[in-house]
Amino acid sequence: MTTTATVDRSVNGDTGSRRFSILAGRDINRETYVEEWAEAGLTVADSPYDPQPSLRVVDGQVMEMDGKERADFDALDRFIADHALDLAVAEEAMATPSHQMARMLVDINVPQPTIRRLADGCTPAKLCEIVRHMNVLEMMMGLGKMRVRKTPANQAHVTNWRENPALLAADAAEAALRGFAEIETTVRVARAAPLNALAILVGSQTSRGGVLTQCAVEEAFGLRLGIKGLTSYAETLSVYGSERSFVDGDDTPWSKAFLASAYASRGIKVRFTSGTGSEALMGYAEQCSMLYLEARCLLITKGAGSQGVQNGSISCIALPEALPGGVRGVLAENLLASMLGLECASGNDALASHSALRKTAKLMLQMIPGTDFICSGYSAIPKQDNMFGGGNFDAEDFDDWTVIQRDMQVNGGIRPVREEEAIAARRQAAQALQAIYAELEFPPIDDEEVEAAALAHSSEDMPARDMVADLAAADRFLEGTANLSDVVRALHRSGFEQAAANLLEMGRQRVAGDYLQPSAIFGDGFNVISAINDNNDYTGPGTGYRLEGETWDALQRIPQQKSPRDFIDAQVGEPLPNLAEISTAKVGATANEIVVAVGPAYGTSLVKTIGELDHEEVLEALLTGVAEEEFYGRVVRVYHSADCAAIGHAGARLSGSGIAVGLQSRGTTVIQKRGLAPLNNLELFPQSPSLTLEIYQAIGRNAARYAKGLSPLPVGVKVDNGARLRLIVKTALLHRREIDDIQEKAPQELYFRWEPDV
């Protein structure tokens, strides 16, 4: 529904509600919502067909699991029963009431290892039963404690529609600078994969050594890229929660486990992929809830020996979000992964909503507790360049993200960066790749492309390349003998010594294999951080991960923040030459005078209002208004207070007519009458940024009319809803400046050298 249609409807005198019509046009109503249908697997956390927890172990073999006899096990049941469950603890775990385990997850006195020990003995149905007792707040508590790596992190997606290598390198460099621990690319055209993988590898290592990179392509192809040294991790090893879906995915738990071992044998970190909704989407949900099927996926992941999983619905996210409780269900699956000791890259990648409010609300469930990777891929590029199908958060949201981190003192894994730093990192990455392309005789990257990549936002900002030639080069590179050391040499020869050293270090780290351990990433200086040496030891306030020290300093220093001193530059200037102090002010004797009482800094320390009106002109306007009513204006300065009400109140006591205008230096104004309580008044103008000289003149007029005993129409001021939001810091600082000039001194009569033009 469009706004135009809305208007038409009103014009046509339709009986529909105007408000509902406007609501129908909102982003939130561009989404799809569907009622639950358990038979089709369209239920998030609780299908009436979900199995009940049970486990019978005879002679060290599982003979019954979740109500099914071993003879009836499908391939997935078999794999889970024989590989995933810790039978030493299973009896105890299954006998522990689920609500008790749910409470343990929330209880700060129960440390992570206690819960993990029991979780290792839980069947899929038991795991589901535990988390069904929990609301989202409780799940967040549990997730913050169960996350395997103490330090949270984030992963970026870097792709572009034109498969432009210089741009890929530049975007990877910027993503590395922004602090992403992992960067994933993929392809529009499959054959581009080797060069895309090379581009983000070189780009990231040029910018910050130790970023792990991958290229999402078909499984066997992906392994080939890893073997060649072009990638250091792989996460698109998809598993599914029903046998038919698994087989349709062209794998079995055994083939996936073999693939995991194959990757590890080449020193490549592995993370499986699962997530609610995939089975329903593939048509084989077997009437089970998404959560139950996901619990099976997670146990297969664990049984296969994958150190981690990306879940949180991933590319299927819109399906659970179409259902009741979908976002809670996604959080529940993140929690289950963490309970099982799996590194969790917790979704927040694919486009999940049109509504910024809804996207952010969902994000908080992972960002606040912290996960191993808040996003399974934050789109560090604009939407049109995202070859994963569009990110829920992308390059345009960088500043929103860093501000939210600063607001909450939460580490969401993205550092704020300055423009010049980003450009420099991008340029250097593109130059490094240019040098490699020249050395390895790939189609050249010219200087114009390098410069475009340094400054680009999207691939539309890039000159065209011959993609056919690039693809041919990619084929030759994959089949040829050139390897990581050739790239290192090419970089070194071209003067990119740090990048060469970083790239080599990636190879050396592969030899050591420390990053094969659960939830491993590299911190600064290639220091490996994983569940082994950065174990999450949260046990309540003051424990676990705390955003403090240097990291907090770095995350709070967004480039947009200014020094407080810079805020009031516009209001500071030379004192008014025509405003002079005469003597202590006395109570006026004439009934036709209006006192204009100004604040301590008015026209001296401060010379303009917050709306940047000259103090001189504001005084002129007020006095002109007074004069129009044939009254005299007296100007006095109040020293003992910077408060608008107090200034007006003091002025009214001195005024012969009993009426005064109180005026703060920032422009806030009040019309006050002697005898009224200080916080009562005739008219108050708190929206100082909106006040104009015409309004000040009208205020002066009205003050005189009150003095005449009339009841004038109050001066109208337009309401600017955004003024407080824009100007609150400035307001506070101007007020503070005025307070600095407070003195224990009676109000002083001022001489304002000016004649009204009336």
Partner 1 sequence: MTDERSEERGNTSQSSNGDYPLYANRNDTLAAASGRPLRDLSLQKTLSEDISSEDYSISAETLRAQAEIARGAGYPQLAQNLERASELTAVPNETLLEMYEMLRPGRCSFEEYQALAQRLRDEFNAAATAGFVEEAAAVYRERGLLRRELE
Find the shortest distance in angstroms from Cβ 158 to partner 1: 24
Nearest to partner 1 of 148, 363 (CB atom)? 148
Q: In angstroms, what is the minimal distance from the CB of 477 to partner 1?
A: 14
**Inter-residue contact 311 to 337 (CB < 8 Å):** yes
Residue 254 or 751 with smaller CB distance to partner 1: 254
Catalytic-residue membership of 349: yes
Task: Name which of 297, 335, 314 is nearest 132 in CA terms.
Answer: 335
Site for partner 1 contains 250 (CB under 8 A)? yes
Q: Which of 155, 278, 313, 346 is catalytic?
A: 155
For partner 1, the closer of residues 536 and 605 by Cβ is: 536
Among 1, 24, 63, 87, binds partner 1 (CB under 8 A): 87
CB of 541 to partner 1, least distance (A): 19
Buried b (16+ CB within 10 A) or exposed e, 255-265: ebbebbebbbe
Query: Rounded to whole angstroms, how far apart are CA atoms 503 and 485?
Result: 9
Among 56, 68, 358, 492, binds partner 1 (CB under 8 A): 492
Q: Which of 112, 232, 238, 376 is catalytic?
A: 376
Contact flag: residue 264 with partner 1 (CB under 8 A): yes
Q: Which stretch binds partner 1 (CB under 8 A): 298-306, 327-335, 369-377, 450-458?
A: 298-306
Question: What gap in Å lies between CA 581 and CA 712, rounded to an integer?
Answer: 32
Q: x/- string (CB under 8 A) for partner 1, residues 163-202?
A: ----------------------------------------
267-296: contacts with partner 1 (CB under 8 A):
267
Does the protein bind partner 1 through residue 303 (CB under 8 A)? yes
Q: 536 with 145: CB under 8 angstroms?
A: yes
From 157, 615, 649, 735, active-site residue: 157
Of 184, 251, 286, 643, which residue is the catalytic one?
A: 184
Residue in 47, 155, 276, 307 binding partner 1, rule: CB under 8 A: 307
Residue ranges with strand state E in 541-668: 579-584, 593-598, 632-637, 659-663
The stretch among 251-259, 375-383, 408-416, 617-625 that binds partner 1 (CB under 8 A) is 251-259
Annotated catalytic residue 155: yes
Quick check: 88 binds partner 1 (CB under 8 A)?
yes
Catalytic residue among 235, 534, 593, 749: 235
Q: Which of 31, 36, 46, 74 binds partner 1 (CB under 8 A)?
A: 74
Residues in contact with partner 1, counted by CB under 8 A, come to a total of 75
Residues in contact with 267: Cβ distance below 8 Å, sequence separation at least 6, in sequence order: 232, 510, 511, 513, 516
Q: Is 255 in the site for partner 1 (CB under 8 A)?
A: yes
Beta carbon of residue 259, minimum distance to partner 1 (angstroms, whole number): 5
Q: Is 235 a catalytic residue?
A: yes
The sign one gets for the Cα dihedral 706, 710, 715, 716 is: positive
58 counts as binding partner 1 under rule CB under 8 A:
no
Nearer residue to partner 1 within complex by CB, 378 or 522: 522
> If binding is defined by CB under 8 A, does position 108 make contact with partner 1?
no
Residues 6+ apart with CB under 8 A from 460: 384
For partner 1, the binding residue among 251, 397, 738, 749 (CB under 8 A) is 251
Helices assigned H by DSSP within 304-355: 318-321, 326-339
- Give the residue with the Cβ less far from partner 1, 79 or 442: 79
Closer residue to partner 1, CB minimum distance, 357 or 512? 512
Kindly provide the residue ranges of all beta strands, DSSP E only, lying in 265-322, ordered along the sequence. Answer: 269-273, 308-310
Please, what is the minimum distance in Å from the beta carbon of residue 611 to partner 1? 60
Kindly give, in sequence order, each residue whose CB lies less than 8 Å from that of residue 179, ignoring residues fewer than 6 positions away: 154, 413, 414, 415
Nearest residue (CB) to partner 1, 150 versus 637: 150
Left, alpha or beta for 609 (phi > 0: left; psi -120 to 50: alpha)? beta
Nearer to partner 1, 228 or 415 (CB): 228
57 contacts partner 1 (rule: CB under 8 A): no
Least distance (Å) between residue 59 CB and partner 1:
14
Q: Toward partner 1, which CB reaches closer, 219 or 749? A: 219
What is the DSSP annotation of 505-537? HHHHHHHH-GGGSTT-EE-GGG-EE-TTTSB--
d(CA 615, CA 618): 5
Q: What is the DSSP string of 23-38?
A: HHTSGGGGS-----BG
Residue 252 is a binding residue for partner 1 (CB under 8 A): yes
393 to each of 331, 401, 632, 659, how far by Cα in Å?
A: 18, 9, 62, 57
| Closest CA relative to residue 236, chosen from 413, 377, 384, 381 | 377
Positions 494 through 533 that interact with partner 1 (CB under 8 A): 500-501, 504, 507-514, 516-518, 526, 528, 531-533
In the bound complex, what is the minimum distance in angstroms from residue 490's beta carbon to partner 1?
A: 11
260 or 335, CB closer to partner 1? 260
Q: How far apart are CA 236 and CA 629, in angstroms?
A: 80
Closest CA to 580 of 636, 509, 510, 504: 636
Q: Pick out residues in 141-160 that bind partner 1 (CB under 8 A).
A: none
Cα 261 from Cα 263, distance rounded (Å): 5
Contact 144, 370 (CB under 8 A): yes
260, 239 contact by CB (below 8 A): no
Question: Is 157 among the catalytic positions?
Answer: yes
In the complex, minimum distance from the CB of residue 238 to partner 1, in angstroms, rounded to a whole number: 13
d(C-alpha 682, C-alpha 699), whole Å: 11
Q: Which is nearer to partner 1, 308 or 633 (CB)?
A: 308
Q: How large is the angle between the packed helices 219-227 and 253-265, nearest 10 degrees?
A: 10
184 catalytic? Reply is yes
* 180, 211 contact by CB (below 8 A): yes
- For the segment 218-237, give every residue that binds partner 1 (CB under 8 A): 219-220, 223-224, 227-229
Task: Name the segment binding partner 1 (CB under 8 A); options: 35-43, 481-489, 553-561, 710-718.
Answer: 481-489
Closest approach of Cβ 85 to partner 1, in Å? 8
Characterize the bridge pairing of strands 269-273 and 308-310: parallel
Q: Which two tokens stand for residue 465?
A: 């390349």
Q: Which residues are catalytic?
A: 155, 157, 184, 235, 310, 349, 376
